[in-house]
Amino acid sequence: MSVFGNILSKIFGHSQAAAQPGSGASPSGAAPATPGAPDGAAGASGQTPSISDVDVAALLDGLAAKAPQKLDWKHSIVDLMKLLGLDSSLEARKELAQELHYDGSTSDSAAMNIWLHRQVMQKLAQNGGKVPEELRR
């Protein structure tokens, strides 16, 4: 699965678990059907997976409040990935940059990280997640 697909899956999975506390939702955060495609095939319940009702900022703030370390997910792609339990290494971020068609130098990790964070927030919004405007700029 793609790095961005994993991000979507983690956010979608956390949303499903929160919405269905007694449903036996997977604590791993994996989506039941096609995690990389939230608008894709229907899951076992016959419902089409969607993140259109997910308040991304509220969900991530909730996760950050429970995290053992202070993570600034609103400004840092590394902290966002750590918060979601994903590999935040430079190699993983370079892979994400390639997926999202970053055309700058991956040697300039600071510029790449800023671009990645903005792009991830924009892509979450484009996929139906509720993301505050200030996080998409």
User: Count of domains in the chain?
Assistant: 1
pLDDT digits (tens, 9 = 90+) for 12-44: 876 665 555 443 333 333 333 333 333 333 334
Residue 58 lies in a domain: yes
Q: Phi and psi of 68, rounded to 5°? A: -70, -20
pLDDT of 61: 97
- Tokens for 7, please give them: 């991000």
Q: Is residue 86 part of a domain?
A: yes
If you ran DSSP here, which 8-state letter would residue 129 be given?
Answer: -
- Extended strands (E) in the chain: none
Domain that includes residue 56, residue range: 50-135
pLDDT at 104: 97
Residue 39 in domain: no
CB-based contact 40:34 (threshold 8 Å): yes
41 in any annotated domain: no
